[in-house]
Structure 1
Amino acid sequence: MSGGTGPTERADAARNRRHLITTAREMLTELGPDQLTMDALAERSGLGKGTVFRRFGTRAGIFQALLDDGERAFQEQVLAGPPPLGPGAPAPDRLIAYGQARIHFLADYYEIARSALDGRQPIPAGSQTPMSQTHIRVLLAQIDLGPADLDLLAIQLTAALDGPLLLYLSATDLGRAAPQLARGWADLVRRVCRP
């Protein structure tokens, strides 16, 4: 998800974006990812093909927008939701909750993330998430880990969450393995955070 402030979106463009995202989610639920195309989205939304192409650029762009939308909601929970995922819990508990929530997020968004590939990317879109690395780094800094290289440790923990889950497991495997992966994440964090 890109941060910062860009040009203000026109009201009609914002309305079209929300409508397209809602329509794309409905189509994905009803028809699956293979049937969600630029033409089908334009037809189902009642908007012109030009509007859809300007908004997303490619079919992969539709899925990237859906992934970004989900990431935005996930980040709101991390930054302002209830503890332990949100603020207010001890850092080790938040780190465990973050990883477990992230695993479940990736399981839920697996097909969307895979479909966000545009053919030029060697790995699934969303598998390199600066927010994960930054959040993990901030939480690690709140834990007494001695002389650990917190930047490197944050990179390694982020890699344990994102890339392998999307690269090596099928949607079915990930769905079945999510609870086991969540338990494994909790074990990993407890071992890393031992005094």
Structure 2
Amino acid sequence: MSLYTKISGTYNLLKLLISGVKVHKSIRIIGNLWFTCKGSLLLGKNIRIWSGYLNPIGRNMNASIYIESNGTLHIGDNVGISNSCIWCAQSIDIGNNVLIGALCIITDTDAHPLNAQVRISDTEDRAKTKTSPIIIEENVFIGTSCIICKGVKIGMNSIVGAGSVVTKDIPPNQIWAGNPARFVKNVEY
């Protein structure tokens, strides 16, 4: 393990602890994590977050987690996240054994009001921004460069193909891909 990896990992864990997050000793954060927690963050065991140039896919992007004041983000056990952005305004639940590929965006909010007059005003009202919970069940694999939109549920054991935009629920044990993501086939064991 390089000196950079040790220092950045310690720095990231300190940021989490200062924010009041309970951190299990098995959590590893490699690279610089951009982190803001105004709400609630619940972390499982054995989480791996890769951020920045150490990951060959997405070298130019750091991983980021942003939780707004009313947001609750739960990340289960044995989750791997590579250079991705998670923006939680209401509720995002990531189950156990989930893999999230590099350059993904997972957001439960529109981020800005859809009304143009409100959006361009100096006093943008976040209360008028639509939010809806995201649930990612256990054993899900999300390929690189996917966007997971607000209000969706991805069923257990499902796979989301690289570059997909998920705008509606994905049932368990299915492979979906495309923009917007569509059913490809059932997962075969």
Normalised by the length of structure 2, the TM-score is 0.25
More helix by proportion, 1 or 2?
Answer: 1
Higher normalized contact order (CA 8 Å, seq sep 6+, divided by chain length):
1
More strand by proportion, 1 or 2?
Answer: 2
